[in-house]
Structure 1
Amino acid sequence: MQTLIFGSYVLIWPVLTLGVLALICRAVLRDMRVARAEKRDLV
């Protein structure tokens, strides 16, 4: 049982990291589309 709990704890971090990365990428892509529509630079 302890192995299952420890394994789940270790494996949850890549999932959380992937979720945060996806959120950041989605926000950047949205900002890029808005900047392109307004004909201005992203930065």
Structure 2
Amino acid sequence: MTPILLTIYVLIWPVIVAGVLAVLVHGFVKEAAEARREGDPII
């Protein structure tokens, strides 16, 4: 594997992980806000 391809492969993983984390956090914040509006406990 050429060094440039290996570099791209190694550097793309943090981008993928950050995207997945952003989706999870967005969903949690949305659910928490909805629960707070309705007066339901989060847990």
TM over 0.5: yes
Identity of aligned residues (%): 35
- How does the TM-score come out when normalised to structure 1? 0.92
Which consecutive residues of structure 1, in runs of 5 or more, have no partner in the other structure? Answer: none
Question: RMSD in angstroms over aligned alpha carbons?
Answer: 1.3
Q: How does 1:8-19 map to 2 (within 5 A)?
A: 8-19=8-19
Count of matched residue positions in the alignment of Structure 1 and Structure 2: 43
TM-score between both structures, scaled by the size of structure 2: 0.92
Q: State the distance in 2 between where 1:27 and 1:3 align.
A: 37
Consecutive unaligned residues in structure 2, runs of 5 or more: none
SS in 2 for 1:14: helix
